[in-house]
Amino acid sequence: MSEPENRPPTEPATSERRPHPLEQRPQPRPEVQPRQQINLRIPSVIPRATYILIAINVAVFLLRATSSDLDERIFLWGANHGADVVRGEYYRLFTSMFLHASIFNARGTYAFPNALHLIFNMYILYGVGMSLERLFGHARFLIIYLLGGLGGSVLSMLFGGLDSYSVGASGAVFAILGAEFVYLYHHRRLMGARGRARRNSLISFAVINLIFGLASSLPGSQMRIDNWAHLGGLIGGMSLSWFISPILNLRAHPDHPGEILGEDINPLSKSYWVVSIYATVLVVLVFVGVYLARG
């Protein structure tokens, strides 16, 4: 007879049950250090020039609104009319920047929707000028507004037709819009996503206005938008701002520990030559246009 083999007792098979995710204890999250806020101090001024420009435009508009006859006389005296500029009335290139669409209609009665031309321009001048003048200072802001606006007037005189009348601060307004775009581009790393979004909105605004301007030139359109003034102001403002815009250099504030000082390393005194060249180019363009028109 064979003897039974001595085998080790077999252990019952056990299967470990994996705990359900909801049964697991939550693991403690690593502590997130709060971001430290750092104050950035940038030299700024009170935007007095913006207030003055708005006051002048509104005052001229209200003065014209007192009488349809006075309104027409001021318009005919100061509007940018190419034929009169060719005859030597160069002041029109400047005065037209402070005139807007008449509040009177052809019958000499009030047409209040016409005031939207002034309201729209002053709204942009206030919205952009308030912040831009604080950063640029009075002198740089006025240079861009006035010389950029003159650039719009010159381009309108050259290409808008000698028989057309053009008025409005649109060229100057587009100049400060272009200046803001250049300032944001110069400081694109500092401004980050916020500055990029603002630059995109400025591009969209310019494109939409140019499209409306092109639509106004179609037959049967009731609108009359001077695209040449817009384009000239935009080019002028961007060109000037490229050279005279403040350039901020960040460093630790010497008087306020823990704060950053944005120091302008591009003062206007370094760029007077650019302003002189720009003004000279405008004068040359005017006389070339006059010469060609008389010839």
d(CA 199, CA 201): 5
**Number of neighbours of residue 125 by Cβ within 10 angstroms:** 21
Q: Is 230 a catalytic residue?
A: yes
Other beta carbons within 10 angstroms of residue 288's beta carbon come to: 11
CA–CA separation, 130 and 12 (whole Å): 84
Question: Active-site residue among 102, 153, 170, 245?
Answer: 170
Q: For residue 170, indicate whether it is catalytic.
A: yes
Give the Cα separation of 251 and 272 in Å (integer).
Answer: 27
Report CA-CA distances (Å) from 295 to 70, 250, 286, 287. 35, 55, 14, 12
CB 267 within 8 A of CB 191: no
Which residue in the list 230, 239, 241, 245 is annotated as catalytic? 230
Catalytic residues: 170, 230
